[in-house]
Amino acid sequence: MEKTGLIVSVISEFCYVKEANNDLIYECKSKGLFRHHNQRPLVGDHVDFIVQNNDQGTITKIHPRKNELYRPKIANIDQTVIITSLQSPNFSSYLLNKFLAIVEYKGITPVIVFTKKDLLGQDDDLYDKYLQWYPQMGYQTFILSNKTPDSSEWDAFKATLINKISVFTGQTGSGKSTTINTLLEQNLIKTQEISKALGRGKHTTTNSKMYEISNGIVIDTPGFSSFDLREFNPEKLAISYHLFTENSRFCKFRHCLHLNEPHCKIKELVTAKIIPTFFYNDYCKIISEITERK
C-alpha cells in the first residue's frame, strides 16, 4: 500500500519518513532510479512510499521542491529562524546580515530572534544602533530572554511557528539550543516519540533533528551555522536582500552591484536612512569576502 509522508531525517542510505496525518515513522530506502537521475532525498521532502514489512519501506516518488538548501541539505523550508545573541558572544551584525543574504536569496522567509536581552546593561545602545532597524526594514523580529518564557513576546514568537517548517540557525553560543529546549517543554511527548523512532536502528548521527512544535515542524541542524558563500557571486548578493531586490530595478545599470556605480537606488536609500549605514557596510564586506574567495 502506497502512503505519503515527510522525510524527518536522513542517515546514511536510510530515510526516516513520518506518515502524513499521524505520528508513525518508517525506515525507508529510496529507489535506485533517483540516483540515476542525480536526485537525493532530503530532510523536508514530501514523498510517496510503499510499506514492505512492519515499519520499513521504499520511497517511490519525491514531490517537487519549492526551495532547497545545499549546506545543510534541506528542502521545502517555510522560514529560517536566525538566533542572534546580544551578549556572550557579542552581537555581530555582519554574521546576521550574511545569514539574511543567503536565506533571502533562496526565497526563504527569515525570522530574527535576538537572545540574552537580560545580559544587556541599562546604558547599552545596541537597540538604537542596530536592533530597531531590522523591523523598520521589514524583518519579523523578536527580542527574547529564555529566563522569561511566559512573556507575550514568546507567545508571539511561538505563533510564527504554527503550520510551518522552520529551520533554526545561529552562531555557537547564541542560545539556539536553549531556545529550542524552551519551545519543547510543552511538546516533550511528541519529541520523545520521534527520538525513539529515529533511535531504533543501528545508526548514530549528528544530522538534522526535527521536532513538532505548535502544529509545525522545527528543524535543528548543527551544521547550519557553518554554511558559507561558495555558491554566491557579487551579482547574486546584489539581489539577495528583499530591499535590494525590490529597488534594484530603479538603478541606472541593470546589473548594478551598488558599489561605485552612479545613480544607484540602493545607495540613495542609504543616504535617505531607509537602509542603515551599518547594513550597507556589511553588504560591501560580504562582497569583498566573496571576491577574495574566487
- Tell me whether the omega of the peptide bond preceding residue 222 falls within 30 degrees of 0, making it cis: no
177 known member of a binding site: yes
- CA contacts within 13 A on the Cβ side of 65: 21
175 known member of a binding site: yes
Strand partners, 79: 109, 166
264 known member of a binding site: yes
205 known member of a binding site: no
User: Considering just the CA atoms, what is the radius of gyration of the chain in Å?
Assistant: 21
245 known member of a binding site: no
**How far is CA 57 from each of CA 19, 21, 24, 39, 41, rounded to the nearest angstrom?**
11, 18, 12, 18, 14
5 known member of a binding site: no
118 known member of a binding site: yes
- Tell me which residue has cell 502544529: 215
Strand partners, 260: none
251 known member of a binding site: yes
252 known member of a binding site: no
Q: Which amino acid is it at 141? A: T
Q: Which residues are annotated as a binding site for GTP?
A: 115-118, 170-178
Q: Which residues are annotated as a binding site for Zn(2+)?
A: 251, 256, 258, 264
Q: Which residues are annotated as a binding site?
A: 115-118, 170-178, 251, 256, 258, 264
